[in-house]
Amino acid sequence: MFWQKEIETMDRKKIEAVQLERLQWLVKHCYQNVRFYHDRLDKAGVTPERIKTLSDIQYIPYTTKEDIRDHYPFGMFAVPMKQVIRIHASSGTTGKPTVVGYTRSDMENWSNLVARLAVAAGASDEDIAQISFGYGLFTGALGLHQGLEKIGAAVIPSSSGNTEKQVMLMKDFGTTLIVGTPSYVLYMSEVAKEMGYTKDDFKIRLGLMGSEGCTPEMRDKIEEAWGLFATDNYGMSELIGPGVSGECERREGMHIAEDHFLCEVINSSSLEVLPRGETGELVVTTLTKEAFPLLRYRTKDITRINYEPCACGRTMARMDKIKGRSDDMLKIRGVNVFPSQIESVIVSSKSVSPNYQLVVRHEGFRDTLEVNVELVDGTLLERFSELEALESKLKAKLHTVLGIDAKVNLVEPKSLERFAGKAKRVVDLR
């Protein structure tokens, strides 16, 4: 099913024509209305007239999160506040948040983009949709809320936290569609089980996951626990929020809304644009954003773009699942380690739960990686030889995948912290 079929199935030539026309508008919009871009473009010798083809984007300098922070709060807005009807901000872990704004037209585009990914996943006006993302400045909850309302689903703004109540609502309201971070949706299934329910007590059939990574192994666990079908959806507050890309029912990559976002993949060190099909840092230009436009924004997210048409009929290119963030990537004894690689190993073992924590230390001139994982069966802690055998098995698997040794600590069931939003898996003590 499609939400905007004509757009979602445009041929490549048409997509590129739309992108060029919008890019030309955008560069002019930024140049004329944002002091920061005006000065940056002048310095780089780029005037809006210089953009004649899509590849002329290469002359435009990259924009970074620091640039946005330097212009806190509204210095990069391109319209007068009178035209702004919504403000969100990203959950910055340190310092000031990055603030973003939307005009009425931005809001309309945003709901349509979220509607696209919801319908692509199989959602419809028959669904009762429970939003278990935290409401507030975060774009996830209101973004999905508006998109699902747009398609006519019955939206329950339950927000995150108070998990027992969430489970009760899910059961009593006959929720059919759940929205949340993979780690939280999985945690909700644990709580449902503790409350004495089985998956047959619920009508849940669809899960729109996003805002953090979800390996296929983790997705299998969530699907098994709830008996649902889940899709992965990518977005970022600076770019719009959710709605940048999302999986269709085939789940062979997340379709990028290319009519609104022009994506490039670069090498994070040399900053060179990589040839199509290579993996690197995603750089995005927001082609239609009025209030908070971004030119060549460095997302720090690592992925690959596939331009092959999809069997679902959509022609929009597909992004691979996010491999990690270039700033989340752990350099351990000179080796690049992505937490998602460790997650795949842990989640595919039946004896441990999908909750884990990575602790990195620097001890005696050496980096060490410790992986804390919960056992499914706590009594194993008293059966040393079995415990040791499981530890060695996990260690060996991790070594094969990462190429370095990790210490594995098997801990009691439910002893690691749970998260209602994005899970924090890494503790770097170096």
By CB under 6 A, name the binding residues for ligand DLL: 90-91, 138-140, 210-213, 232-237, 241-242, 299, 301, 322, 325
Cα separation of 341 and 297, whole Å?
A: 26
* C-alpha angle 195-356-267 in degrees, rounded to nearest 5: 130
Query: Residue 273 has what DSSP assignment?
Result: B
Q: How far is the CB of 174 from ligand DLL (least distance, A)?
A: 24
Query: What's the distance, Cα to Cα, between the start and end of the chain in Å?
Result: 49
Least distance from C-beta 44 to ligand DLL, angstroms? 25
Least separation in angstroms between CB 34 and ligand DLL: 20
Minimum CB–partner distance for residue 427 and ligand DLL (Å): 18
Cβ nearer to ligand DLL, comparing 314 with 323: 323
CA 358 to chain centre: 20
> Nearest approach, Cβ of 37 to ligand DLL (angstroms)?
21
Q: Which helix (H) or strand (E) holds 194?
A: helix 182-194
Size (the chain), residues: 430
Query: Which residue number, 132 or 139, has a Cβ lying nearer to ligand DLL?
Result: 139
Contact partners, residue 61, CB within 8 Å, separation at least 6 = 40, 41, 43, 44, 295, 296
CB of 333 to ligand DLL, least distance (A): 25
Nearer of residues 208 and 375 to ligand DLL, judged by Cβ: 208
| Pick 10 or 179: Cβ nearer ligand DLL | 179
Residue with Cβ nearer ligand DLL (99 or 408): 99
Q: Least distance to ligand DLL from the beta carbon of 197, Å? A: 26
Nearer CB in complex with ligand DLL: 56/320: 320
Partners of residue 208 on adjacent β-strands: 179, 231
Q: Which residues, other chains included, contact 423 with Cβ-Cβ below 8 Å and sequence gap of 6+?
A: 181, 183, 184, 212
> How far is 236 from 242, CA to CA, in rounded Å?
6
Q: With respect to ligand DLL, which residue has the nearer C-beta, 46 or 76?
A: 76
Residue 380 C-beta: closest distance to ligand DLL, Å: 32
Which residues 6+ apart lie within 8 Å of 242 measured at CB? 114, 117, 139, 140, 143, 144, 147, 210, 211, 233, 234, 235
The Cα 6–Cα 69 span in angstroms is 38
Our CB check for ligand DLL shows the closer of 101 and 210 to be: 210
Chain centroid offset of residue 206 CA: 18
Nearest position to ligand DLL, beta carbon: 210
**Strands ordered across the beta sheet of 297-303:** 261-266, 280-286, 297-303, 324-325
Q: From the CB of 305, what's the least distance to ligand DLL, in Å? A: 15
In this structure, the number of other CB atoms found within 10 A of the CB of residue 412 comes to: 11
C-alpha–C-alpha distance, residues 369 and 426, integer Å: 10
- Token pair 């409401």 is at which residue? 135
**Smallest gap from residue 141 Cβ to ligand DLL (A):** 8
**Residue entry with tokens 């948040």:** 97
Per the listing, tokens 């999160």 go with 65
User: Which of 236/316 has CB closer to ligand DLL?
Assistant: 236
Whichever of 304 and 380 has its CB closer to ligand DLL, that residue is: 304
Per 3-state DSSP, the chain is made up of helix, strand and coil in percentages (nearest 5) of 35, 25, 40
